Structure 1
Amino acid sequence: MNALRALLLLLIAAPLLAGAAPRSALEETARREGVLQVDSTTDREQVAPLLAAFHQRHPYLRVDYRDLSGADIYRRALRGEHGDVLWSSAMDLQIKLVNEGLALRYSSPQKAALPGWASWRDEVYGTTFEPIVLAYDRHRIADGDMPDSHAALRRALRQDGARWRLASYDVASSGAGYFFFSQDSRHNPEFWDLAAALGRHMRYQDGNSLTLLQRLQRGEADIAYNVLGPYAWRFARQHPQVGWLLPQDYTLVVSRLQLIHKAARHPAAARLWMDFVLSREGQQVLAQASGLPPIRNDLPRRLGNVDLDREAPKLRPIQVGSGLLVYLDSAKRSLFLRHWQQQLAPGRAP
């Protein structure tokens, strides 16, 4: 009897003692590969908890994680200097790589939990749910006085905007800036009227959300237009002087897109990473430890105190697919940039 009990205990404990021992053919292949290379626009510090959780799940894999810009990830992918997984906030460039046949098709078992707009051709997957917000200096603009929509901002800038200094992305040199503004133009029929008002009062054009938020903190700008929501939320927690809000007429939602390069040297490891990032566990780590709202439909989406699920009617997620290629057309891009530069006050065009 004692021997039988010991055997039962051993059988129960065996999976625990085995820990990270491979349990599938995919894991066995990844174990032999031993390495995973990830090129990402998300800085390593922000996703350190995700990397730690992945290592705990697959300790036999060494992850080489490189912080790169979206443009660098794209160029390296074309030159053959890429990692196995390409994870980028430059949604349009990621779709361009897929369109050029450089993504490995992989139907992740996690796909069923994603919104229909968040993947394309089983080759690229959205991983986050990030609203684009308006941020402002609360020392200069009271919470109740901050325009709460694109339309309200346009009216306010026309009426008394001379006293407000604006900052936003450099549309000409920043891929994210151009992408956000071009998507604005698709969703807002009055975009160019708004652009004219923005241009007259634009003081700073920068390359990332953090710089825009720092300008508010230093009192250099009063409003920052088109800021990534997770950055605004995290920054405002440390600097209560900075406020932020979801525009009430519509709020664009972007996602960091992930694909496996067709010439990945460690394709099995890349599949494990893809599945983990999209899994409930991986998404919860991104949400709770990195402040990036989850893409999965079966997890609550929050940004600070804002329940994004309740705000769904005003949210405009950007569809992952060939539609993102429209404004990468060189003729359309040149026309858009020329029109934008015409809106800027003299001396403020790039």
Structure 2
Amino acid sequence: MIITIYLFLGFLFGSIDAALAASTEDAAKKEATVVVYGAGNVEHWQKINEAFEKKYPYLKVKLFRGNWEKVRNRVMTEGRAGSYFVDVLQIDGVNGWVLKEDGYLQSHKSAETEAFPEAFRDPSGMLPCCLDTLTNVIGFNTRLVKKQDAPKSYQDLLAPRWKDKLGMDADEGEWFAGLISVWGKEKTVDYFRTLMKQNPSMRRGHTLLANLTGAGEFSVAVNLFGYRVMEMKEKGETIDLVKADPLMVRPAHMALARRAPHPNAARLYIDFTLSVEGQQIMASLGRTVVRPGVKPKHPELTEGVKLHPIKPEMAKNYEEISKLYYSIVK
């Protein structure tokens, strides 16, 4: 009797889910378009969008691409003018939190998010996670530093031998905030103050920093994105990485705009990017995905170490944390 009830309930809920999905698709057909704002490689966007349009041939994707701060500013500028063009936002946690708090997002509890590790889920559905992630790693030039001599931890970067030999992105406030969540404020502040005594060469942009490390501009980069190092290694460039603990990870969330003009097409798009099919596409492009069952192109970036996602709620005190960071890193 009990088994029969469970089977009936399973059939009932399955039928409801199927009906809802069909209803969403029917409504999306009338919308015809989905407008996406996001950051990242244009070729990667083309691949995911082409696959989406192949699956849903009655929908066309329109993309605005800029960094995450530009995405946030564009949404807020349009909102203040009473103009609402965007449907889906691919955005990091800090900028996503600002948009959520200011009322620019609405909940979409995609069933696909249930497949992701719990640490990456957002029960509210306001910032579904995640299209892909950026792993924070130490990078080093293999011509200047032998693998066995490379720093193995963040503490190793404070050794005398690395003084005047480090490169660093000047804008690491988000990583700083993430480390505070793991190390605590006092330890993180002490670490960065000591790190600054190493006189790192400051640059702006992780891609630039990776390129300069590969070119031998400096021996070691304090913080790079793992996927970029792996791309450079594949091309035979003289660069490698170290996964230091804690390994901070920056997820790219897929959020539904509160006043999306094409909300049903937007829901289909978000679900597709988080699905096995969408995640396999991202993985094939070398992006770091964390959905279990989808094999990343570079599993070494996430295997054998605990991942610490930079959560959106870390933005609660981000203005204060950012001021503290820039009082240290000058």
Contact 1:229 1:303 (C-alpha < 8 Å) held by counterparts = no
Match for 2:308 among 293, 302, 316? 316
Find the residue that maps to 1:306 and give its secondary structure: helix
Q: Could you tell me which amino acid in structure 1 is paired with residue 87 of structure 2?
A: D
SS state at 2:261 partner:
coil
Contact 1:169–1:205 (Cα < 8 Å) also in 2: yes
Report the Cα distance in structure 1 between the residues aligned to 2:105 and 2:65, rounded to whole angstroms.
20
2:257 maps to 1:261: yes
**1:126, 1:255 within 8 Å by CA — same for their partners in 2?**
yes
Cα displacement (A) at 1:37: 0.7
Task: Give SS of 1:273's match.
Answer: helix
Q: 2:145 aligns with which of 130, 134, 141?
A: 141
Q: 1:306 aligns with which of 289, 297, 300?
A: 300
CA contact (8 A) 1:236 1:242 kept: yes
SS of equivalent to 2:258? coil
Contact 1:47–1:286 (CA under 8 A) maintained in structure 2? no
Q: What is the alpha-carbon distance in structure 2 between the residues aligned to residue 303 and residue 282 of structure 1? A: 14
Deviation at 1:72, TM superposition (A): 1.3
Aligned to 1:256, the other structure's residue is in SS state strand
Describe the shift of the 1:35–1:178 C-alpha distance in structure 2 as closer, same or farther (beyond 3 A). same
CA 1:229/1:212 → structure 2, altered by over 3 Å: closer, same or farther?
same
User: 2:179 matched to 1:178?
Assistant: no
Counterparts in 2 of 1:1-350, with a 5 A limit?
Answer: 24-79=22-77, 80=79, 82-88=85-91, 90-120=92-122, 121-127=124-130, 128-154=132-158, 156=159, 159-162=160-163, 164-171=164-171, 177-188=172-183, 190-247=187-244, 249-288=245-284, 290-300=285-295, 302=296, 304=298, 306=300, 308=302, 310-312=303-305, 314-319=306-311, 321-322=312-313, 324-329=314-319, 331-338=320-327, 340-341=328-329, 349=330
Cα distance in 2 for partners of 1:239, 1:192 equals 37
Could you tell me the TM-score, scaled by structure 2's length? 0.84
Q: Distance in 2 between matches of 1:84 and 1:202?
A: 44
Task: Please give the secondary structure, in 2, of the residue aligned with 1:214.
Answer: helix
**For residues 206 and 58 of structure 1, do their structure 2 counterparts lie closer, same or farther at Cα, with a shift above 3 Å needed?**
farther
Q: How many residues align structurally? A: 301
Matched AA of 1:261: A
1:141-188 Cα offsets, whole Å, 9 max, x none, are 11110011112222x2xx2223x52222222xxxxx210122123323
| Structure 1 residue ranges (4+ consecutive) displaced by more than 3 angstroms after TM superposition | 201-204
- Gaps of at least 5 residues in structure 2 are 1-20
Separation in 2, partners of 1:207, 1:46 = 23
Q: Distance in 2 between matches of 1:97 and 1:117?
A: 21
Please tell me the residue identity of whatever aligns with 2:168: S
Compute the displacement of 1:303 (Å).
5.8
Q: Percent identity?
A: 21
Instruction: Spell out, residue by residue over 1:235-284, the C-alpha distance to the aligned partner (whole angstroms, 9 max, x if none).
Output: 2221430111211x321112111201101111111000000011000001
Q: TM-score, normalising length from structure 1?
A: 0.80
Deviation of 1:202 (Å): 4.0
- Contact persistence 2:89–2:255 (CA under 8 A): yes
Which residue in the other structure is 1:20 paired with?
none
Q: Write the distance in 2 (CA, Å) between the matches of 1:205 and 1:33.
A: 47
Q: CA deviation at 1:304?
A: 2.3
Q: What is the root-mean-square deviation of aligned Cα atoms in Å?
A: 2.1
